[in-house]
Amino acid sequence: MNKFVLESDAPGVTRVEVHLKRSAQAKRLSLRVSQLDGRVTLTLPHHASEAEATGFIREKATWLRSHVARFDAEKPVGLGSLLPLEDQMIRILPGQGRRPRLVAEGLEVPGRPEAAGARVAAFLKEAARDRLTAASDHYAALLGRPFTSLSLRDTRSRWGSCSSKGALMYSWRLVMAPPDILRYVAAHEVAHLAEMNHSAAFWARVQELYGPYRSAREWLRHHGAELHKYRFAG
């Protein structure tokens, strides 16, 4: 068995899938709920039985449902929607012209209403590229090490990465986070140009580039999943 489903017949009660992972290093059973997508993983020692695993999951059922429920509600983006952009909530409004435009009242989006979500996503990606390129250039200059390329994706497992060849990758959804969070992720990935690990030396580099970073890490841990609830289907 590699997955257990915690069912319920009660209306409004969350159905939870728990993925089982055996580990030679595990000393006890432990549950983890991903802060990015709500995926639940139960890590258990090799000697633990399936009966122990299912019993442990049922004991934690109330805790599990309360943590997973907040990942369930998706937020489709369209005309009239509210959307986070940097440090404010903006409303998506009908607009004129060829491109979305930020105004005092919100983001004006021209074209067919059913295509508004896709046009908002394109606007966010362009804004994310501008801001992440500027932040990465800034921190790379401070570090004295250039990066080779910068790409954007819609990743759920990580907010950014740095390859051994110096290629930076970021989630474009960072543009919806407060600006200091975006800058922290940029500093984090640029620091990998010098330290391709998460050692004490690496975190010292992050501190040198960005400054105190723990609050930014905590923001992503506790609030980052909210950014993945927004859906931009055209």
Structure-derived torsion over alpha carbons of residues 80, 85, 88, 89, reported in degrees to the nearest 10:
20
Binned at pLDDT 50, 70 and 90, residue 57 comes out as confident
Binned at pLDDT 50, 70 and 90, residue 72 comes out as low
pLDDT score for 215 = 96
- Are the beta carbons of 85 and 173 closer than 8 angstroms? no
69, 84, 113 - which closes a domain: 69
- Residue environment code for 57-88, b if the CB has 16+ CB neighbours within 10 A, otherwise e: beebeeebeebbeebeeeeebbeebebbbbee
Binned at pLDDT 50, 70 and 90, residue 196 comes out as very high
The tens digit of pLDDT for each residue in 83-101 reads: 999 889 999 999 999 999 9
54 in the same domain as 124 = no
85 in the same domain as 59 = no
Residue 87: strand, helix, or coil: coil
208 in the same domain as 110 = yes
| Sequence-separated (6 or more) residues with CB below 8 Å from residue 144 | none
The tens digit of pLDDT for each residue in 99-129 reads: 999 999 999 999 999 999 999 999 999 999 9
Task: Determine how β-strand 75-76 pairs with β-strand 3-6.
Answer: unpaired
140 in the same domain as 33 = no
Q: What is the CATH number of the domain that holds 166?
A: 3.30.2010.10
Please state at what angle helix 179-191 crosses helix 116-143, rounded to 10 degrees: 50
Give the count of domains, the chain.
Answer: 2
CA atoms within 13 A on the CB side of 69: 9
| Sequence-separated (6 or more) residues with CB below 8 Å from residue 124 | 85, 172, 173, 175, 176
pLDDT score for 35 = 57
Task: Determine how β-strand 88-94 pairs with β-strand 82-85.
Answer: antiparallel
* Residue 67 pLDDT > 90: no
* Residue 8 pLDDT > 60: no
pLDDT score for 90 = 95
CA 172 to chain centre: 10
* Whole-number Cα distances in Å, 38 to 60, 89, 113: 16, 24, 31
pLDDT score for 13 = 46
Residue % of the chain over a pLDDT of 70: 91
29 in the same domain as 107 = no
166 in the same domain as 86 = yes
The tens digit of pLDDT for each residue in 203-223 reads: 999 999 999 999 999 999 888
Q: Which of 116, 109, 131, 110 is nearest to 176 (CA)?
A: 131
pLDDT score for 31 = 87
The token pair that represents 104 in the structure block: 């005092």
**Distance between CA atoms of 183 and 198, rounded to whole angstroms?**
18
Binned at pLDDT 50, 70 and 90, residue 46 comes out as confident
**Distance between CA atoms of 172 and 21, rounded to whole angstroms?**
30
The tens digit of pLDDT for each residue in 156-169 reads: 889 999 999 999 99
207 in the same domain as 108 = yes
Q: What is the overall mean pLDDT for the chain? A: 89
Structural domain containing residue 138? 75-231
79 in the same domain as 25 = no
* Residue 12 pLDDT > 50: no
Task: Count the helices and strands in the chain (H runs, E runs).
Answer: 6, 13
Mean pLDDT of 186-190: 98
Q: What is the pTM of this model?
A: 0.71
